[in-house]
């Protein structure tokens, strides 16, 4: 039976859409999606993760069924939304896995709320996405022209040519997810990434961490991933033969890497 989507309120009243699966008495695993997607980007891993964990997925602010309040967002704001999800479910500590923007939220949690984390997975992410001007341009473009131009361009960055050729159905699924975005919410998240620089705080990460990188990821590179590993007190790197959405391009390898890491606790 498909689990029901519930809505929880962040501390500013914004509604955040949440879905839970798996045994309620198991350790919790919280998943945080990338910019432009929803909680459903984790579809390839749901069954594997929910078998032994209380799996919690949520739509980030401005995406999916969550509200898109007007104005710009910050990484602090997105991080506090993740804490609101845990608080609403009365989860004191959880494993956390975030990809791209979700991984940026994970970095924030690692230095701002480490007591809420068991183990951490940072996938296809970076501590800084300079230059800010590029994000400002993207923000303005989405507000002026909608999601369609960006959705077409994103697929070439998010997947390798081989995957696009062999799995057009999966690529189309992600394209439709992008097209469904509220431009205001997407722009608000762009501002959070534009203004983010977590390089100075990366050394504060003391949570056991797995950093996943795509060998062909030009957006958040292996070099970006290596920085996060080297800065943290207890981290290791796993590389996958994928571009940016490595959990979609290499679903089994991704799930195995995550489960091996969090099972070590």
Give the CATH number for residue 84: 3.40.50.1820
Q: Is 121 within a domain? A: yes
| Total domains in the fold of the chain | 1
pLDDT tens-digit series, residues 25-72: 999 999 999 999 999 999 999 999 999 999 999 999 999 999 999 999
Segments of the chain scoring below 70 in pLDDT: 1-2
Q: Is 69 within a domain? A: yes
Looking at residue 11, its pLDDT comes to: 95
Looking at residue 4, its pLDDT comes to: 79
Considering all CA atoms of the chain, what is the largest pairwise distance in Å, rounded to the nearest integer? 47
β partners of residue 30:
56, 96
CA distance 47 to 27: 15
Q: By C-alpha distance, which of 50, 56, 44, 57 is closest to 242?
A: 44
For the record, the structure tokens of 102 come out as: 């979700």
CA distance 98 to 11: 21
- Residue 138 domain boundaries: 6-263
Looking at residue 1, its pLDDT comes to: 55
Q: Is 1 within a domain? A: no
Looking at residue 152, its pLDDT comes to: 83
Q: Is 220 within a domain? A: yes
Looking at residue 153, its pLDDT comes to: 87
Looking at residue 163, its pLDDT comes to: 97
Q: Is 223 within a domain? A: yes
Q: By C-alpha distance, which of 201, 220, 187, 254 is closest to 31?
A: 254
């Amino acid at each position: 039976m498909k689990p029901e989507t519930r809505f929880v309120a962040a501390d500013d009243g914004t509604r955040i859409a949440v879905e839970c699966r798996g045994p309620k008495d198991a350790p919790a695993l919280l998943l945080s999606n990338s910019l432009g997607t929803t909680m459903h980007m984790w579809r390839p891993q749901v069954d594997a993760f929910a078998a032994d964990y209380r799996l919690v997925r949520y739509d980030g602010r401005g995406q999916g069924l969550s509200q898109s309040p007007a104005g710009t967002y910050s990484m602090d704001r997105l991080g506090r939304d993740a804490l609101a999800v845990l608080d609403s479910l009365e989860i004191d500590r959880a494993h956390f896995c975030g990809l791209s923007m979700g991984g940026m939220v994970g970095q924030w949690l690692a230095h701002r709320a480490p007591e809420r984390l068991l183990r951490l997975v940072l996938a296809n992410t970076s501590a800084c996405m300079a230059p800010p001007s590029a994000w400002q341009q993207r923000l303005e473009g989405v507000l002026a022209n909608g999601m369609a131009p960006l959705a077409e361009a994103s697929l070439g960055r998010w997947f390798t040519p081989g995957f696009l050729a062999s799995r057009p159905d999966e690529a189309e699924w992600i394209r439709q997810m992008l097209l469904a975005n509220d431009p205001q919410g997407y722009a608000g998240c762009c501002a959070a990434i534009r203004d983010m620089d977590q390089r100075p705080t990366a050394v504060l990460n003391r949570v056991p961490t797995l950093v996943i990188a795509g060998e062909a990821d030009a957006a958040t590179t292996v070099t970006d991933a290596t920085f996060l590993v080297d800065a943290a007190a207890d981290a290791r790197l796993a590389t996958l033969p994928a571009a940016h959405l490595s959990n979609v391009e290499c679903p089994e390898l991704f799930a195995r890497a995550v489960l091996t890491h969090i099972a070590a606790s």
